[in-house]
Amino acid sequence: MERRSPGVPVNQTLIEEAISQVLEGNREAYRTIIQAYERKIYTYCYYILRSHEEAEDAVQDIFVKVYQELRRYEKRVSFNAWLYKVAYHHCLDQIRKRKRRKRLLSLYKEQQPKAYYNPHDEELLQKLFMDGLTAEESNLLILKVVEQYSFEEMSQIMDCNSATLRKKFERLRKKLIRQRMNEGGSPHGEMARSN
């Protein structure tokens, strides 16, 4: 994977040219799109899925899906927003699948004899996956703070009114400040200042 910083802007003219070439049958032109966005989409997926392996798999699946659906891309929306929308929905699907697997595992554990149960394993899992943010909250935080999108761009990605997203982000910012204060931390930092 190319080491490109998630916050670096992508040359949209180059991307639009690559899209046109791919639609005309030049498969190699798709490499330009992948190289421009691979690191950004990986970072985005990692922050939502919180797993390197799942994020790597998601990136591959997303780029395959985007390639297959490229004819559906409408230029009235930026390619950036369209790609992130595909990634967002793919990650939400992955989270739903993970929750289903978790429920099945839970049912399985209930049916197993207690001798095989190790409470230490469960504590480790809870520490890894419990940070109190919903998928939507994680997505808001990533798009605004990490990717530095405007609320208008975020509204295209999330299919939501920009004013609504602005309010949700402000509530999330306050929630995170409260959590930090409850843990004995300082309210100062990136999230303490409203954008």
Interacting residues of 168 by C-beta distance below 8 A, sequence separation 6+: 136, 137, 140
pLDDT tens digits, one per residue of 102-159? 776 666 556 555 444 445 444 433 333 335 678 788 788 888 887 888 999 999 988 8
Domain residues for the domain of 136 are 12-192
Predicted confidence at residue 79, as pLDDT, reads 96
Domain assignment present for residue 7? The answer is: no
| % pLDDT > 90, the chain | 48
Q: Tokens at residue 143, please?
A: 């798009």
Query: Which CATH number covers residue 120?
Result: 1.10.1740.10
Residue where the block lists tokens 């490499």: 31
Alpha-carbon span 17 to 54, nearest angstrom:
31
Domain assignment present for residue 5? The answer is: no
Predicted confidence at residue 175, as pLDDT, reads 85
Domain assignment present for residue 6? The answer is: no
Ranges in the chain, pLDDT < 70: 1-8, 104-132, 184-195
Domain assignment present for residue 175? The answer is: yes
Predicted confidence at residue 185, as pLDDT, reads 60
Domain assignment present for residue 2? The answer is: no
Predicted confidence at residue 3, as pLDDT, reads 45
Structural domains counted in the chain:
1
Alpha-carbon span 142 to 169, nearest angstrom:
11
Predicted confidence at residue 37, as pLDDT, reads 97
Q: How far apart, in Å, are the Cα atoms of 53 and each of 33, 58, 90?
A: 22, 8, 15
Predicted confidence at residue 186, as pLDDT, reads 60
Q: How far apart, in Å, are the Cα atoms of 161 and each of 77, 108, 109, 192?
A: 15, 42, 43, 23
